[in-house]
Amino acid sequence: MLSKRDKIGREPATHSSAQDVSKKTKTDQKIPPVLTPLSANKRKRSADEHTAGPALISSAKKTKPTPNNTSTSSKKPLATASKSYGFKSTLVPRGTRKKASIGHKDESLLRMVCDCSTTNRVTELHFRKIPHSMIDWNSAHHISKINAWRNQIYGRAGLKARSVSLWYEKEELWFELYFQLCIVESRKRGFLLPGSRKVRDAFNATFVGTIIQDKVGNDLPPRAEREANAFASKFNRMCPVLRARLNNCVFGKSGDTYMPKITFKMMEKYKTMKGEMAAKGVECESEYADHLEDWRHFLSHLPDPEDAEMQDVATEEEDVKEMEAKEVDAVTALISLSHSPINSQVALSPTAGVSCSIEITNEHATPELTRSTRTSFSHAEEGPCTPPQPVHASEGRIYNPDGIYSCDHGTVHECKQPSVAGPSIETRAVEDHV
């Protein structure tokens, strides 16, 4: 049994050990454990194994951080910045929306009359960024300031800057027909393509104020004027294949600006033609149509097969007529030669005491058959060849139906007897005294 002294001597040790344990637990709670990377632990462990024996190797224990309820805070939802929507004003501008443009002075754009949507009061707002007397209407900077001020008031009232307007089917058909007509005209002559503004003016002149029907047949509201930006955006996106073809057709050519005039009747006819082509199986034009317009121009100038046949028939008829005329000339020449002897003598009357011999010589052995076809044919029809008549002599004179040849006092008269188709025949009258 322990004495009282021993008990008193042991109490401080236990008390100190309890205090040390409490201190250790406090330090363990206060000081978070230092976590070293795994690679560093491996290097340190390998070094300890080399230095110390296997009995001194202590198993490395990974200290896990003890969760501290006081340090961990409950997760709070992230505070997301709410969208700062623009302030919507109660002032609504009156009238239609207008914009200032360079070079057009309009002081009415410097003020805006607005109605209050809550109090129904009328308020007038004035442009104050630039003194009115110092505004230069030819300055792009001043014009942009005025338009920005007006757009700000419209935006605060909730009015959109652009009104979305759908494009009708006939409007898109107008663009397609415009490119087609320009391509056709470019094959005839050179010209310059019009600008976007000129095309827009022609487009608005066709559609503004007109009532168009939709596919069902209902009347649509009258078409308003298309703005420059909306029209240019649509025009640049329409018909890329036809646009490229038109640019190739007018490349390297010059002339006046050409703008086709398009009517609703033309658009209806073009729509019908497209429907007929689609019924035949032709849906759209090929994109691989290189030099297509040149081929079309070449093929359009080829002769029609019917015209070629008519020309062949006419040529054959002319050849037949020419051969017939040549045959008539040959027959006429043969007949004239057969009835005209080379040498002939005619005895005169015995009372005259004189004998005359007629000598007929042929200058050309072969008749000339290369005369004009029509002339020969007409001569053959109008005046058929008649054989030469016999010569009659009477008292020193020789009578011939084609002429009179006289022989007086031993003189010799030479003359040429005309003939129709035969060669020239020379007739001589020689006086012979018996």
Residue 347 within a domain = yes
Q: Is 192 helix (H, G, I), strand (E, B) or coil?
A: strand
* 176 and 277 share one domain: yes
- How much is the pLDDT for 254? 86
Q: Of the residues 265, 300, 335, which one is the last residue of a structural domain?
A: 300
- How much is the pLDDT for 31? 54
Q: What is the mean pLDDT of residues 406-434?
A: 45
Provide the domain limits for residue 336: 320-433
Tokens describing residue 274: 């497209």
Q: Of the residues 112, 127, 156, which one is the last residue of a structural domain?
A: 156
* 144 and 183 share one domain: no
Instruction: Report pTM.
Output: 0.39
- How much is the pLDDT for 321? 87
DSSP summary character for residue 134: G
* 266 and 357 share one domain: no
Evaluate if residue 401 carries a pLDDT over 60: no
Residue 138 within a domain = yes
* 275 and 389 share one domain: no
Q: Which residue has the higher pLDDT, 159 or 350?
A: 159
Residue 31 within a domain = no
pLDDT in tens, 173-225: 999 999 999 999 998 899 999 999 999 999 999 998 888 887 777 887 888 88
Residue 100 within a domain = yes
Q: What is the mean pLDDT of residues 259-273?
A: 91
User: 159-163, 272-276, 421-425: which range is least confident on average?
Assistant: 421-425
DSSP secondary structure letters along 332-374: HHHHHHHTS-SB--BPPPTTTTEEEEEEEEES-SS----S-HH
* 203 and 105 share one domain: no
Overall number of domains in the chain: 3
Q: Is 200 helix (H, G, I), strand (E, B) or coil?
A: helix
Helix (H) or strand (E) holding 400: strand 397-400
pLDDT in tens, 49-82: 555 454 444 444 555 555 554 444 444 444 444 4
* 422 and 370 share one domain: yes
Residue 185 within a domain = yes
Considering 18-22, 236-240, 421-425, the range whose residues carry the highest mean pLDDT is: 236-240
User: 30-34, 198-202, 231-235: which range is least confident on average?
Assistant: 30-34
* 346 and 230 share one domain: no
Residue 296 within a domain = yes
Helix (H) or strand (E) holding 112: strand 111-116
* 336 and 415 share one domain: yes
Residue 201 within a domain = yes
What's the length of the chain?
Answer: 434
Q: Of the residues 128, 156, 184, which one is the last residue of a structural domain?
A: 156
* 176 and 291 share one domain: yes
- How much is the pLDDT for 193? 93
Q: What is the mean pLDDT of residues 363-388?
A: 48
Considering 122-136, 375-389, 396-410, 413-427, the range whose residues carry the highest mean pLDDT is: 122-136
